[in-house]
A and B are shown apart, each in its own frame.
Chain A
Amino acid sequence: MAIVLYGVSTYNCQRVTSALLEFGIEDFELIKVDLKEREHFSPEYLAMQPFHQVPVFESGDYRLYESRAIVRYFAEKYKDAGPSILGSTLEEKALVNQWVDTEAHQFNDFAFAPWSMEYLMSWRLKRPLDEALVAPLYEKLGYFLDVAEKQLSKTKYLAGNFFSLADLNIAPSLLRVSVLQPELINDRKNVRAWFESITSRPAFKKMLEADKGWRFPYGPFTNEEAQKLRTS
């Protein structure tokens, strides 16, 4: 059954694309949903994803949304393609899930998502950054990365000495952190090494290539600088 992924360029879409590529699946169609044109509010799209969000996974009649549910499905379905990114024992799986949820809540919901959204809005609307909004979120990001720094002094990856769903899920977001405020990553030795490792994986690089329309839209980057990011 042909695989179709709806949604490109956002960090949660990139999460799904990189997951598919991790499992050696290269034969899929990547379809842009034009968020600026509010394509995600069209009746056709809402029939697929009633919360008007990207991404959506489709294979024949079967559709799935919520990027973290989609990547989990891939990890189960393609379990035999390589070492399990879900973890092998019950305890390993539990720790993977703990870090997947920590990324979702402590990193993404409480810090990264609103923080990066403010950068996007200030660039798009050509207005200054709301410092009062950004400053406490920056602190929360720092706190999360301090916790990660400590964990990564004990294990090579977040949930253990194996690359897992937790590392996969955070990688596209961390790329944006590294461009917006690189010191958040560079000032933390273990975080920096881990970041280099997870963003230099072949699947991650292939994902950036596959997402051909992707450029870093948060400015003030010239297209040249963004291009460098895409091909480095």
Chain B
Amino acid sequence: MGIVVLGSYLSPYSLRVLIELEELVVDYELKPVNIKQGEHRTPEFLKMQPFGQVPVLQDDDLTLFESRAITRYLAEKFDGQGTPLLGKSMKEKALVNQWVEVESQNYDRPLIAIVEQVVWKPSWGKTTNEEIVAAEMAKLEKVLDVYEAQLTKHKYLAGDFFSLADLGHLPGTHLLVNIGKKGAVFADRPHLNAWWEDISSRPSFKKTMAKTP
């Protein structure tokens, strides 16, 4: 049957999986889930994903949710084809995992809070709460300072190799910088900015984003 992703081009978490599939050179089918119409809350969907979220992966008998669990599974399954994403030695792999956690725990939270205010709310006809934006930007900038320091030492987050850790940042950062127009905080940090320019010029990212409406 092959890889099926149930998701939405509107969801950075879905996009994370799709970008990775391009990196791994794996064919897939995207089955769109209509978030606006609440398709992710129907009883049928909740049977697959009890928390009502996208993406969901189907690979033959396996149904899997949580985007970072999905990307980890795909990287392990297709290890040896496309771009190596996990690191080579046990220590390298652990550093990749560390930065995946940093993205999940420290980077994504303020980023999504800002994206909600400056991208999603306007698209729903609601007003941006500038106080929240300011507060969350302050938090994000502190995180970006750490990233700038790290990327001064290495070309990518876990070392001098592109990994799952860097890939995970692509869709959210695109929303923040390109759609939300909050790129100044990247431009102010030369190594961070160079890293962003580098990873966002990867064919896997461009190809996936070309498919989004």
Contact = CB atoms under 8 A, between A and B. Distances in A.
Contacts of B77: 90
B72 A97 contact: yes
Interface string B134-155: 0000000001001001100000
Interface in B59-80: 61-62, 64-66, 68-70, 72-73, 76-77
Nearest to B90: A76
B185 interface: no
B90 A66 contact: no
Interface in A41-59: 50-51
A90 B146 contact: no
Contacts of A91: 61-62
Interface stretch (A23-31, A99-107, A122-130): A99-107
Given A62-B91, A69-B101, A95-B64, A51 B69 contact: no
Contacts of B28: none
A73 B64 contact: no
A97 B77 CA distance: 14
Contacts of A73: 90, 93-94, 97
Interface in A81-98: 90-91, 93-95, 97-98
Interface residues of A, number: 29
Contact of B64 (A62, A65, A98, A150): A98
A65 B99 CA distance: 9
A77 interface: yes
B146 A51 contact: yes
Contacts, number: 74
Dominant SS among interface residues on chain A:
helix
B187 interface: no
A52 B57 CA distance: 35
A66 to B, nearest CB: 4
A64 interface: yes
20 contacts: A50-B146, A51-B102, A51-B106, A51-B146, A62-B91, A64-B94, A64-B98, A68-B101, A69-B97, A76-B94, A77-B90, A90-B76, A91-B62, A93-B76, A94-B69, A94-B73, A97-B68, A100-B69, A101-B68, A147-B50
Top 10 A-B pairs ranked by shortest CB distance? A66-B101, A101-B66, A97-B69, A73-B94, A69-B97, A94-B73, A69-B98, A98-B69, A50-B146, A147-B50
